[in-house]
Structure formats: structure tokens, C-alpha cells
Amino acid sequence: MTVGLGMALLAGAGTRAGAAVAKKVDFNHDVRPILSDNCFACHGPDEKKRKAKLRLDTEDGSRADLGKGLRAVVPGKVSESALWKRITATNPDDIMPPPESHKKLTGRQIEMLKQWLEQGANYKGHWAFEAPKRPAVPVVKAGAVVRTPIDAFILARLEAQGLTASPEAAKEALIRRVTFDLTGLPPTLAEVAAFLTDKDANAYEHVVDRLLKSPRYGEHMARYWLDAARYGDTHGLHLDNERSMWPYRDWVVKAFNRNVPFDQFTVEQLAGDLLPKPSLEQLTASGFNRCNVTTGEGGSINEELLFRYAVDRTETTAAVWMGLTAGCAVCHDHKFDPISTKEFYSMYSFFNSAADPAMDGNSLTTPPILKLATPDQQKKLDALEAKVSAIEKTSRELAAKLAYTDPATLTPPPSVKRTESVWVDDDFPAGAKVTASPGEPTQWVTAEKGGRVFSGKRALKRSDKGIAQDFFEGGPAITVPAGAKIFAHVFLETNDVPKSVMVQFHVGGTWSARAVWGDQDAIDWGKKGTNERKSLGALPKAGEWVKLEFAADSLGLKAGTKIAGVAFTQFGGTVFWDKAGLSAETNPLTDPTQSLAAWEKENQGKNNKELPTDVREIFRSVKPADRKPEQSKKLREYYLENVCATTRPAFETLRAELNPLKTERDAIEKLIPATFIYRDLEKPRDSFVMIRGQYNKPGERVYPNTPAILPPLPKGDTTNRLTFARWLVDPQHPLTARVAVNRFWQQFFGLGIVKTANDFGAQGEPPSHPELLDWLATTFQQDGWDVQRLVKLIVTSATYRQDSRVSPELLAADSENRLLGRAPRYRLDAEVVRDNALFVSGLMNHTIGGKGVRPYQPENIWEPVAYSGSNTRVYKQDAGDALYRRSLYTFWKRTAPPPNMTTFDAPSRESFCVRRERSNTPLQALVLMNDIQHFEAARAFAQRLLKEGGATAGERLAWGFRTATARQPSAAEQSILTESLTAQLTKFQANPEAAKLAIAVGESKPAADLNPSELAAYTLVANLILNLDECLTKN
Amino acid sequence: MNPLHDYLTLQNRRQFFASAGLSAGAIALATLGAPARALAAAQPVPLRVHPGLAGFPHFAPKAKRLIYLHLNGGPSQLDLLDYKPKLAEYFDKDLPDSIRKGQRITTMTSGQARLPVAPSMFKFSQAGKSGMWISELLSHTAGVADDLALIKTIHTEAINHDPACTVVMTGSEIPGKPSLGSWLSYGLGSENNDLPSFVVLTPVWSSKSAAQALFTRMWSSGFIPTHHAGVALRAQGDPVLYIKNPPGVDRSSRRAMLDGLGKLNELNFQRMGDPETQTRIAQYEMAFRMQASVPELTDISKESKATLDMYGPDVTKPGTFAASCLLARRLIERDVRVVQLLHRGWDQHGNLPNDIRAQCGDVDQPAAALIRDLKQRGLLDDTLVVWGGEFGRTVYSQGTLKKDNYGRDHHPRNFCMWMAGGGIKGGVTYGETDDFSYNVVENPVHLRDLNATILHLLGIDHRRLTYRALGLDQRLTGVEVEAEVVKGVLV
């Protein structure tokens, strides 16, 4: 067979090469691809780009009078057709397609168009937009081979091209193939043995049934769906902080395991929230369209983001369910498919009222979310919430009642005065964390009990032989005003005088400023003579209260410095401390702690991270003149409660009550898993055609609707997402079932019947087996969208069960295996490659579901790229069992996904992906040889070889080879393995130290009862086996 | 890759080596790299692991390789390269409405009461024969001004970092498109069989302010096959991920393992006949060679003192911009197609003078040294160097304005980039902005025009570098507005 013949065969398989055969021309198969690729950009559906008013995508358009009786297409009359004249013109000004388009028709394509014109130039609607008709199952010569109708369709094509199917694969290959395809894991040796010895005619079907019942099935099927759903554990943009979405991931796993029918699966994900009394499961499912990437980047424009999210949701939905590249119509009428921008935005309006905010707040739980609390947790939360809101209400009422006059509004204006603010007197500041070290807990004494007290009721007391202190951190930071003086009162017991006393300040994240009185060297913290340890005088006089006072900036505490903590320290002796704080001259007009106006001015337009988000956002993005009354009210309330020096104390008791409640509430909430769900706003947003896809250029108003080329929406009172979701799975819908079965097919055969699984439009490739696609689609619908039934149908077909050997003849005739004259053979997906190593090594932890885990990852994958303030900046690897979970459960940071996954073509999950690439690179070799995960698995596998594999090297190697490939090694293979083991043994026996290093890779411990050199040698051979082409490939 | 083509080529190679009596392992080895060179006499055409597309380049390229110095965060054109002497008299005055023209600004400053003009506090002077105006912050760069074409009117639509960076790197705001380097690798292939064709370096930065994030999508291959994705060389840990053998496993052990693997895979190929198996054998051998070539690449012990001095004192600290520039030159010497440096920390909303000084301290001397070093080795003739960020910064101050302290918000409407090397006319200043560096007044250059120009210099017609995805013949320069090559900067 020659290559030339092979090309011709392929052309028949539906490529655009267009073999010139004198048969009846089929418009969809033979002509539309040529016109679409070469002509539609200027003579297609896009009205704005249309040239010469000629439209070639419709029959009417092609026959229209272009002036002076000129017509592009005159049926049956080639020479009168302008189309023919232009495609055969030689003058560069006349020839079509024009030279500047860089498109050129081949001789065969020109010939095909000629035949089409001769045969009457008939048009047919694009195949994918017409409902599938159930075709008759063809009768084939090799009828004996047929196991399912699928095989008849496949054989019919093969026979038409003079090819035959391959024989059935060996049982070992078969069980390995189907186990990988249904569970993402290899079969165990016991499973292989059971299948080999099962002589029942339905032995294979029994294996399939067993696998479909395995919980691993749902995990494996979910993985493909999660690519389409663009599932990730982070927001995906800017800070790329963590988001809590994993209950949705677990829902997908469960849905496949429970075999939820695909129509229900569809409706629950697109509109679960709109179902009557939606269950928690249905609400969780609605998270599908919350999986899109979102941002919280400062400076972003809300309208733009909302627009983008709605576009993503529309585009993803259209691609995943309908195989439409609707995104093109965001900016202009689709150039190739009959989707106008108006139709796009009509679909978009189903998704344009989502209730989630434009800015995700970089939050773990951007609303709307569903809290999956246990009943007990919920009860506690409700109780706490009731208390919290009661206090907040009291607080607001208090704020409303409080008499406060902004000094800035007084006439005459008040004068500058010296004010004191006290941090410590009778207690530490509210909310601060207090520590005593070392020795006794903090001790407050009163005068009644013999203590020394300077002011109020009590004072701090501490006795020690060495360095000792009481200090606080946290609580509201103290901002040093200009000209501030810091003071503290101290009393040294005459009969037990310390060597020195010290006051320390926590600034900028560390204890960095220290004032010392007395022996400068007794407490040797910080660099002497600098602000880290500065002497401010002799030890105060003992036996009386002394006020220690100093200018704040003498210790480098300049105006504006935030003091986050203060420590009262001594070396030996008995010391009382009382009333500490600072004093400053303040101008009530400009002091933000006195004047609301001054505070507002200070914060306006700034991004003050110390303020709560709602307050901060008002300052940041609203000009004072534009503030709404409720926003001004919010600012005032916050000010009086938290900032204003005169009113703040009035809230002290409330705060003291509130803070522990909030802490308790936060602690419970942390334990409750949450998941993003979809909700609409109460009042829907209006939708418009956005001119040229610009978020700020609304054009014509549009209403929820679907493209005219597809069946109409059912008539009803409401038209919402639920209507849309149900419309998708209506039996009349031409796309949904086809697109779904095509993706399942792709999952098992590597390529879909429509190769462009994401594009069923005119630019997509036509199906290799159109009748089979329609037969599968209609079967799927008739069977009640039963996914497991479809899957079983596919994997029990003779087509699937063929041998995968690539003969030179088949390779030459059909290099891509579109005709399926053999079973597919291709590299396992990223997750399967890793899971396989964990499984055969015995390391795998089979726990199902839960929060994403962080297995081995090289250093500096997240850190060098992440935003400094991101909570996914530092990768903190998990320990123990979590290292060995299935890859499905690996935490997915979308801006820096795990490299041992992306190296094997896992998508970043930033946008939907319905078909992965499958590359073959040296970086993959490096992962499999050197990744800790893989090398540790090799060592664990080696241990199994040594312990379970048998008594001799030969038995062990054969056992290892069989475990990884399901088949016995040949004599030649066995001898290569033996040779390799001998070479490694020689090396490691000569260097036991190296052996010890090699077997210590990873967290799990090597078996202590094995000889390190022997184990290391076996580890290298196990590493070899796990790197075999056969091991990495679905055969 | 076309499997049929590969299969046939491999068949031919197999026959060739079989007649030469070489083993399977040797075939795999000889398919690529060094041993192939040793066999050059017998091999009329040197084999390339990743050849370019047929018909590429479209015309004789002026540059064969690209070094792209990306300054991430939005360097202030006003303080570096866009000299605006008239601003002095506008200090702290409001930006005139006639200039702002109601253009959108980010929500970081839209709440600000005023938009007061902040003239640059830095001195500018004229450099080189052309008298190019350059800030004192870039005094070393001024020394190579005659090699630079400065474009002052680059513009983009994106006003925030994430989308803007995605545009600079991939030509589109929407994540998922292939990066510039991936497009070049895809179109032109790789000239080096031991190293990736597109390498990314992410040096550390000195300004202490919080830096914007990078995203792997900035060097991803999008819908193009993944072997065209950029490979990030790392300063800490292994330079290439997983390049080092595990502890206790030396090179001879690895060789022994690969010998066995190669033989078994060859048997498997004979059994199953799948050309992918042959590719896999070759890729394992390339991995083995990379294990040697990568450490050699990063070993700078043989660089002369004069060379090291030129890059400045940071050059010996791995992960600095200086070290990365030197590494870029070493990669280019080894015929790596695209090297991209992504230097973060240029997002100066406040405290700009201080931070930008630190940032320029990182990049000025090494970038100039890179030009000089390439030149002295004759590499500048066919290497293109591009320098710039994702947008510029506003003339009005964000936050407090003092003569010597101010901040600037994002400004996508015009910013500066320079190009040097193969096909670039040195000493050219292209495009002009108004007195406030707020609007383009002459010769606008959209980022897609810049990309078209880069492709042009590498011998590619940007309209003909396409990949079919999502129903379209996708292009780096997009399919919406036609990009134009910036002729004014070409020789």
C-alpha cells in the first residue's frame, strides 16, 4: 500500500482534502468545509464584515442577484457562476480567495466545487444543527466480529476502504485497558489472574460490571468533567487566593458513581438553585458556573468584571453542552456559524444576573455560598449569630444616640491641647494577647491586699531573680501622634531593687525598640546604644512611684509609627508598673481621633488595610460628594465605635462582650466546609448587546433567548436558566446528546468521532462516522441519558476490544486511527501516570473526597510567582497519608498548577478544556525518573518485589513486570531486566552509602529488614519498569 | 508532530543505523544532539528534534533569537524614558480636563479628590549620537543608546496587571492563549537539541513593596502542543525541575537504568509498532543529555572577570537580574530560541522615587551589559532584545504628592519600550506623546503591532503564523484589528 492511497482514504474519512471522486457531492461533507474555511470570513454570517453583499453560507444568498444579473451560483451552470469565474481567475485583482487572505484553494477543492455546481449546487443545513435521525445499523461482511451496533458502523467504514479490523487484544491487555479506562488505575495481579482463568463467555462483561461499581469509577470520570468545568481550588486571578469549592468536586464524583442521568446532571449544574426546594446536593451542583476565574484586584472596574464572568459562563456552557465556539460572537457576528452577537447576548442574559460580586474579595468563601454544617454546628452558630447581631444592634443604637460634635464644625475652633491616652491602667487593652515570661502568670495587685497602686484600683507586680516581663501584643494598634511622649509609672521595692527596668515596643513585626533604666548590660537584648537598646537614665529611685517619660522619637518611634505591643521588663527585684500610655499635643481640628472630618480626609482615596473591607471600599472608590447616606452613616458608626477618642470608650464593654463571641463563631465556621453556589440577583440585570465586546458600550437591549438555528425555547410564564437547562436536554436539541457522547467516545478512543470536541460548528471537523454519532446520540437519549449504560456499550464493543498493534499498513493508511482499524494506544493522562505509580507501589491512600491535599512538589513553584499578599504564596507540603492521595485530590492553584501534572498536559483550569493535548517530552522523562513522588514509589514498589515477588531475582523481576504491565515478560525482556539489576547491584554493593541515600527518598521509611544495597538496586529497576513505554501507555 | 512523517523518518533512520551496525540505544542517542554531530559526515542534514513548520521562516530573518526583558508591574515611563520638561510648572496642579478627556482611570484613584500632576524628580539628559533623552536612573542604558530603538507610544487596552500581563505575553486578555515564546517555538522550532527552545527566568527584585504575581499562563503554550511551553529555569533548587537524579543515584546508575529502558522500549516498539515509542526513547535520551547540559549552562566559572564586571556585582548571585542577563546570553549562545526574563516589583502606587531607584539598580547595568556582551560576541547582529512592562504610569500622583515623593497609578494609554539588535535601527526615538505623557500624539504602537514587528524580525509574517483552535485560525496578533509592523524602527 502506498502513502498516496493512504491520503486518499483519509480524505474519504472526512478531511478537507476532498478526493475528487465522481460521486454525488455531499454539501456538508464535501463543500461546506471548503467554503467555510476560504469564503465565510467575508461572505458568511457576519453582516458587518460581509463583502460585496454576497453571502455564501445560505442557499438564497448564493443565488442572489449581485447586480446586472450577476449571480455567485447558477445551479447546473458552471461557467455562468461568478463563483467559478473568481476561483479560477488568474488576475490577482479577481481571484478568490484574495491573495492577502493567504488562503488558496487546492486543485481538488476547485474540482469539488465544480462538481457541486454541476450537480445543482444544493445546500443542506449544517449537520450539527439538525436533530440526529436514528440511522439503520449497517450490514457488514465481517458480521461475525460484530458485538454491538457500534462495530457494524465501524466495520462498514473499514470495509468501504478495503481495510479490516484488528483481532481482539490479549486478555492481559484488555483487562489493563478497561481497568484504566473505567477507574484510572491498573488492575491488580489477582484481578488479572481471575480474568485469565474465567472461562465464562461473559467474563469480560463481568469485569466491566465490577469496575462500574467501583467508587474509583466516579473519581476517574469526574476528572474529565472537572477539566470541562474549569474546577480549581483558587480564584485564578491576581492574588489567586484559596477558594472553597471542593464539595462541588466531590458532588461530581458522587454523581458519576450514582449514575445520575446526564439530563439531570445537566439541569442540576446549570440551574440546581432554581429547582423547587433544591436539595443541598442540587445547590452544590449549581457551583458549575461558579468555577470560573475571578479577581479581587484593586483598581478593577466592577462592570468589566461582571461582564467577563457572564461571558465566561455563557461561553463555557455553550462549549461544554453544545460544542459551540460562541465566544466569537462576543465581539461580532460569528464568522462561520449562524450565531449573531444578538443571539450570543441573549444567551448571556441567562447568566448575567448572577448574584456573586464583581470583586471576589480574595475570600475563601465569596458569596453566595452553601455552608455544609452539621446540625450541631448550625445550632451553635445560630445561637452565636443571634448574640452577635444583638450586640451589633445595640452598638449601632448607641452610635446613633451618642452626642458627638466634630470639633472641626465648632466656632470658634477649639485650641490645641495636650491629651493623654492610656494603654495600661488596671488592665491591658481589650483584645490584646497577654503573656508573662518566665514564671508566674501575670499578677494584678490591689492596695487592699498590700500592693502598691499609683492610679485606679490595681497595678502590675512581678518579682524575679533574672529577666522577667509582662507584655501584650495585638488588639488595636497604637498610632504615635506627632510630638508624642511615652510614659509609664514604676515603683521599685526598696528591699528588692532590680538591676534594670526596660520598656519594649513591638513595631513593624518585631520587638525592635527598647528603653532601659539602670544597668544597660543586664538585659542584653538588641544592639546596645541604638534604638534597639537605649539607655534613658539611671535606675529610678526605689520606694516611691516614679514617672518614666521620654519623647517617642528619641527611640525612633516617629509620628505615624504603629505600636502593636508593649513589654514591661526587669532584671531581678520586685517591680510594680501602673498607668502607661502616651501624651501628645493635638489639634482637635486635624486629629483623626477627635475629628470625624479629619479621619475621613486622612483615609479618602486610600487603601487602608487596617479598615474592614466595607469601610475601606467606601474610601477607596467613592468620592465624598458621591457617598450615599447609608455609606456616610456606616463611616460615622465605625468612627465612633473604633476611632474617636471620646466616644470609643463607651463601646468598650460591648466590644469586650462581642470579641469572644466572634472568635468562637470564627472557630466554628472554620471547621464547616463551604462551597460556591449559583444564585441570581433578586432583581435581574438588564442585558444588552455589548458593542464589539466592550463592557462599557451597551447597544441593543436583549432578553433571555437561544439562537434561532436551534429549536425554540418552550413557551412558559418564565424564561430563566432552568428553562435554558431543560431546553438543552430536550430530545429535539440537535447538539447536547451528540456532544456528550462524542466526549465519552473521546475518553475511550483518544479522539472523538468529531475530532474537534469543542467545535461542532462549520469550522469543526465533520464527524468521521456521522451515522454512528447519531446512533449513539439517539441511543443515549432513548436510554434515559444513562451514562454507565453508554460507557458499557462502548467498552464492550469489538471495536474497543481490538488489539492496539500499529501495523505499518494501518499507520500509512490511517495514521491518526480515525477509522479505528485497531484499538487506540496512547500515553496515560497526567493524573493516571501518578496514580498508577502510587497504586502499583502500594503507597496509595484511597480516601475519597475532602479538601485538596498538598503532596510533594519541588521548592519554589508557588513562591517565585505568587503575589506577596496571597494566601497561596507559600506551599506547605502535607505529611503522611495525604502525600499519597489520588491526583484528583491535589490542591489546584490555577496560576501555578502542580508541575508534575502540567508537564503531562494537564490544563491550568483557568478556562474550560474538553480535550487535552498529549505531548511526549524530555521533561516528562525527568519527572518520572526523579520526582520524589515517583522515586519513592519506585522504592516502595521494589520492596513489594522483594517481599511479595518470590524467592529469586528472576521471579521478582517477572512479578514486578507483570504488576506494572499485566503480562509476563518475554525471555528477552526478562534477560534485559536481569542485566539491569546486576549492573545496579554491582554499583550499590560497592557503595552502600549511596544505596542508603537512594532508599531514603520520600517520607515513608524503607523496610528495615532489607539490605540497603539490594533494595537500592531493585529501586532502580522498579524505576525502570515504571518508566516503560508500556507502563505509561494504554495499550 | 505528524506521526506519519515521524514514522517514515524513523524508519529511514533505523535502516541507516542498522546498516551501520549500531544498537538501539545508540540509535536513540544519535537521533539527537552531540553524537549526531560526530556522525555529521554520514548525515547530510543535521537532525533537529523540534524542527519548525514547513515554509518557516517566511522570509530571511533579521534575528534568529529573542531576549525579552519584561519589567512587571508597569515601569513609570515618566521617570525613565519619556522626558517631559514642561511638567515642572504644573507641579501639584490638577491634570487639565483637556488632557484627561474623561478617560477611565482605575478605582484606586477614581475616589481621589484631585489628580495633581507629579513631574518626575529625576534628571534627564541626552545620550548617544541621536541625543536620546534618558533619565539618570538609566545611566548605563544611556551608554548603549545608539543601539536602541526607543518606542514611546506603546499602548494597550488593559488597565490592571493580570489582564495587561496576559496581553503582553499572549496578545489577549483572556487566559488560555499561547505565549509569544510558544508561538516562536512552534513556528521556528528549536536549533538546540539539548535544551528547551523557550526558557523563562524570574529574577528577584529589590524594591520592597508588594509585587504583583506572575502566572504560568504568561509562558504557557495555550492551545499549541505543550512542548512549546516556556520552561522556567529556577535560581533556587534545580534550575530545571526534576533535573537532578535522586540522592545516591549517580550518572552511571542512571545510564544503566536508561540502557535497560531503551532496550525494553525498543522491544516494545517492535511488538506494537507505535512511532510514539520511538519518540519516547529519544526523549529519555534528551533528558539524560539535559542532565549534563543544564549544569554546564549555569556554571559561570569560566566567564572572564571583564565580562562579569560588566554585568555588575550582583552577577555572581544566582537569581538576580544581573545573573539572569548573563544566563540569557549563555542560553542564546546555545541557540535557545527565546529567553524571557520577568522582573517583578515595578508597581509603584506610592513611594515611587525610592522604589524605582532600587528597581533600576537591579536592571540598568545588566541590561546595558547584555547589549554590550552580545555585541562583542557578534550575537547582537542576529539576536533581538526587547525591554518593557505591561503598561505605564499616570502623570498625576496617587496619594501624597511632594517634590521628591509621589506615587503613580496604572496608565495603559502610552508607555515606553526599547528594542535592540537584529534588524533594529539604533538611536531611534519613535512616536510622541503630549506634554503630560497622557495621550499619544504621533505614531501609536499597539502591543499587537509590537508583536507583529517582533515576528517580522524573526522572519515571520504575523498573519501566517496561525493555529486552528476554537473554530478559528488563531494568531498571536489576534484576528480583530490588523496589526502593523512598525517600519520606523527597522534598519
Give A199-216 pLDDT, tens digit per residue. Answer: 999 999 999 999 999 999
Task: Name residues whose C-beta falls within 8 Å of residue A966's C-beta, 6 or more positions apart in sequence.
Answer: A172, A173, A175, A176, A186, A187, A192
Tell me what the mean pLDDT of segment B205-234 comes to. Answer: 80
Tell me what the mean pLDDT of segment A65-77 comes to. Answer: 88
Report the 10 Å Cβ neighbour count for A72.
Answer: 24
Mean pLDDT of chain A: 91
Residue window 704-763, chain A: list those with CB within 8 Å of chain B: 756, 758-759, 761-763
With respect to residue B197, please indicate whether it lies within any of the assigned structural domains. yes
pLDDT tens, position by position, B392-403: 999 999 888 999
Among B280, B349, B406, B482, which would you mutate to test the A interface (most chain A Cβ atoms within 10 Å of its Cβ)?
Answer: B280
Q: Tell me, what's the ipTM?
A: 0.75
Question: Over A875-912, what HEC string results?
Answer: CCCCCHHHHHECHHHECCCCCCCCHHHHCCCCCCCCCC
A232 touches chain B (CB under 8 A): no
Which is higher by pLDDT, A19 or A146?
A146
Q: Are B315 and B235 in contact (CB under 8 A)?
A: no
A905 touches chain B (CB under 8 A): yes
A896 touches chain B (CB under 8 A): yes
Using the 8-state DSSP alphabet, how is residue A701 labeled? Answer: E
Chain A to chain B, count of Cβ pairs less than 8 Å apart?
300
Chain A residues with beta carbon closer than 8 angstroms to that of B217: 895, 908, 910
Q: How far, in Å, are A718, A723, A724 from residue A715 at the CA level?
A: 8, 9, 12
With respect to residue B246, please indicate whether it lies within any of the assigned structural domains. no
A907: nearest CA partner in chain B: B222
Task: Name residues whose C-beta falls within 8 Å of residue B480's C-beta, 6 or more positions apart in sequence.
Answer: A331, A332
d(C-alpha B233, C-alpha B334), whole Å: 15
A387 touches chain B (CB under 8 A): no
Whether the per-residue pLDDT at B4 is higher than 70: the answer is: no
With respect to residue B455, please indicate whether it lies within any of the assigned structural domains. yes
For the domain that residue B347 is a member of, what is the CATH number?
3.40.720
Q: Name which of A948, A886, A980, A718 is nearest A221 in CA terms.
A: A886
Q: Are B177 and B451 in contact (CB under 8 A)?
A: no
**Min Cα–Cα distance to chain B from A443, Å:** 42
Q: Name which of A211, A239, A228, A210 is nearest A270 in CA terms.
A: A228
Considering only the beta carbons, identify the residue of B109, B220, B240 that sits closest to A605. B109
What is the residue range of B188's domain? 65-236+318-489
Report the 10 Å Cβ neighbour count for A363.
Answer: 17
Chain B residues with beta carbon closer than 8 angstroms to that of A299: 106-108, 159-160, 409-410
Residue A223, SS3 per DSSP: helix
Chain B residues with beta carbon closer than 8 angstroms to that of A996: 248
The reported pLDDT for the residue numbered A1012 is 97
Total domain count for chain B? 1
Buried b / exposed e along A379-389 (16+ C-beta atoms within 10 A): eebeebeebbe
pLDDT tens, position by position, B89-132: 999 999 998 998 888 788 778 778 889 999 999 999 999 999 99
How many residues does this entry show for chain A? 1035
Chain A residues with beta carbon closer than 8 angstroms to that of B225: 917, 919
Task: State the CATH architecture for A417-585.
Answer: Sandwich (2.60)
Considering only the beta carbons, identify the residue of A621, A977, A1016 that sits closest to B260. A977
**Min Cα–Cα distance to chain A from B368, Å:** 25
Considering only the beta carbons, identify the residue of A604, A867, A1029 that sits closest to B277. A1029
Among B190, B264, B474, which would you mutate to test the A interface (most chain A Cβ atoms within 10 Å of its Cβ)?
Answer: B264
A1029 touches chain B (CB under 8 A): yes
Considering only the beta carbons, identify the residue of B111, B213, B261 that sits closest to A623. B111
A696 touches chain B (CB under 8 A): yes
Backbone angles phi, psi at A995, to 5 degrees: -60, -45
With respect to residue B35, please indicate whether it lies within any of the assigned structural domains. no
Position B5 confidence tier, pLDDT thresholds 50, 70, 90: very low
The reply to whether residue B280 touches residue A920, judged by beta carbons under 8 angstroms, is yes
Residue window 497-536, chain A: list those with CB within 8 Å of chain B: none
Chain B residues with beta carbon closer than 8 angstroms to that of A306: none
The reply to whether residue A1016 touches residue B464, judged by beta carbons under 8 angstroms, is no
The reply to whether residue A3 touches residue B7, judged by beta carbons under 8 angstroms, is no
With respect to residue B104, please indicate whether it lies within any of the assigned structural domains. yes
The reported pLDDT for the residue numbered B49 is 67
d(C-alpha B243, C-alpha B262), whole Å: 19
Chain A residues with beta carbon closer than 8 angstroms to that of B242: 858, 899-900, 923, 926-927, 929-931
pLDDT tens, position by position, A911-932: 899 988 888 888 999 999 999 9
The reply to whether residue B108 touches residue A927, judged by beta carbons under 8 angstroms, is no
d(C-alpha A994, C-alpha A1017), whole Å: 11
The reported pLDDT for the residue numbered B208 is 61
Which is higher by pLDDT, A172 or A466?
A172
d(C-alpha A819, C-alpha A136), whole Å: 19
Backbone angles phi, psi at A512, to 5 degrees: -125, -5
The rounded percent of chain B whose pLDDT value lies above 70 is 89
Element housing A577 (H / E): strand A562-586
The reply to whether residue B242 touches residue A926, judged by beta carbons under 8 angstroms, is yes
Dihedral angle at the C-alpha atoms of B372, B374, B376, B377, nearest 10 degrees?
Answer: 170
Q: How far, in Å, are A306, A521, B445 from residue A693 at the CA level?
A: 13, 70, 22
Backbone angles phi, psi at A975, to 5 degrees: -75, -30
Task: Name residues whose C-beta falls within 8 Å of residue B11's C-beta, 6 or more positions apart in sequence.
Answer: none
Which three three-digit cell numbers place residue A532? Answer: 534597639
Handedness of CA A59, A61, A67, A73 (dihedral sign): negative
Per-domain residue ranges of chain A: 3-125, 143-221+737-813, 225-371+680-733, 417-585, 930-1034
A825 touches chain B (CB under 8 A): yes
Most confident of A13-17, A224-228, A467-471: A224-228
Its pTM stands at 0.74
Buried b / exposed e along A632-652 (16+ C-beta atoms within 10 A): eebbbbbbbbbbbebbbebbe
The reply to whether residue B260 touches residue A980, judged by beta carbons under 8 angstroms, is yes
The reported pLDDT for the residue numbered B40 is 34
A301 touches chain B (CB under 8 A): yes
Which three three-digit cell numbers place residue A776? Answer: 449513539
**Min Cα–Cα distance to chain B from A903, Å:** 8
A409 touches chain B (CB under 8 A): no
The reported pLDDT for the residue numbered A516 is 94
Residue for cell digits 495587561? B164
Most confident of A44-53, A403-412, A649-658, B258-267: B258-267
Whether the per-residue pLDDT at A454 is higher than 70: the answer is: yes
Among B182, B243, B257, B355, which would you mutate to test the A interface (most chain A Cβ atoms within 10 Å of its Cβ)?
Answer: B257
Question: Over A308-367, what HEC string results?
Answer: HHHHHHHHHHHHHHHCCCHHHHHCCCCCCCCCCHHHHHHHHCCCCCECCCCECCCCCCCC
Chain A residues with beta carbon closer than 8 angstroms to that of B197: none
d(C-alpha A494, C-alpha A365), whole Å: 59
The reply to whether residue B111 touches residue A994, judged by beta carbons under 8 angstroms, is no
Buried b / exposed e along B450-469 (16+ C-beta atoms within 10 A): bbbbbbbbbbbebbebbbeb
Q: Which amino acid is at A333?
A: D
Q: Which of A156-170, B64-78, B231-245 has the lowest mean pLDDT?
A: B231-245
A970 touches chain B (CB under 8 A): yes
The reply to whether residue A932 touches residue B2, judged by beta carbons under 8 angstroms, is no
**Min Cα–Cα distance to chain A from B468, Å:** 9
With respect to residue B264, please indicate whether it lies within any of the assigned structural domains. no
Chain A residues with beta carbon closer than 8 angstroms to that of B178: none
Among B105, B159, B160, which would you mutate to test the A interface (most chain A Cβ atoms within 10 Å of its Cβ)?
Answer: B160
Chain B residues with beta carbon closer than 8 angstroms to that of A1027: 257, 261, 284
**Min Cα–Cα distance to chain B from A330, Å:** 12
Q: Are A410 and A416 in contact (CB under 8 A)?
A: no
B229: nearest CA partner in chain A: A903
Tell me what the mean pLDDT of segment A231-253 comes to. Answer: 96
pLDDT tens, position by position, A686-703: 999 998 888 888 999 999
Backbone angles phi, psi at A93, to 5 degrees: -75, -20
A299 touches chain B (CB under 8 A): yes
The reply to whether residue A919 touches residue B227, judged by beta carbons under 8 angstroms, is yes
The reply to whether residue A811 touches residue B273, judged by beta carbons under 8 angstroms, is yes
The reply to whether residue A1001 touches residue B247, judged by beta carbons under 8 angstroms, is yes
Q: How far, in Å, are A541, A724, B393, B474 from residue B236 at the CA level?
A: 56, 51, 32, 36
**Min Cα–Cα distance to chain B from A403, Å:** 29
pLDDT tens, position by position, A368-382: 999 998 889 989 999
Considering only the beta carbons, identify the residue of B238, B290, B464 that sits closest to A858. B238
